[in-house]
Amino acid sequence: MANKGHKPKVVIQKLRLVSVLIGQEMQRVDAIREVSITEKTNYRCRKQYGGVGADQLKELKTASERERASSKGGLRPDPEQAYTDGSRLGNF
């Protein structure tokens, strides 16, 4: 059975909600329980997404996608540039 992964957008929303509840003088532990996460999850997500906003999250996502693509050997080559030596022209 796979573990449920928290999506970054949802994590940021929950972190903000915890901050608001703490600002309304609710105890930290009670605020974390109110948004249905554990203290460990809250700590780990704060550490990873601490001051990240929605626009910064998009930049982080695109950067990680680019990094994954480069680690897999780069982007797909352009088919037009791949055969510039004339090898594409065959006997028809």
Is residue 70 pLDDT above 90, yes or no? no
18, 42 contact by CB (below 8 A): yes
Domain membership of residue 55 (yes or no) is: yes
Domain membership of residue 83 (yes or no) is: no
Q: List the structure tokens of 62.
A: 């695109």
How many Å apart are CA 35 and CA 46, to the nearest integer? 14
CA 21 vs CA 25, 47, 61, 67: distances in Å: 7, 19, 28, 36
Overall pTM surpassing 0.75 (yes/no): no
Domain membership of residue 90 (yes or no) is: no
| Residue-level pLDDT at 26 | 92
Band of pLDDT at residue 87, cut at 50, 70 and 90: low
How many Å apart are CA 53 and CA 9, to the nearest integer? 9
Average pLDDT for residues 59-84, to the nearest whole number?
66
Domain membership of residue 33 (yes or no) is: yes
Structural domain for 67, as ranges: 8-71
In total, how many domains does the chain have? 1
Domain membership of residue 85 (yes or no) is: no
Domain membership of residue 84 (yes or no) is: no
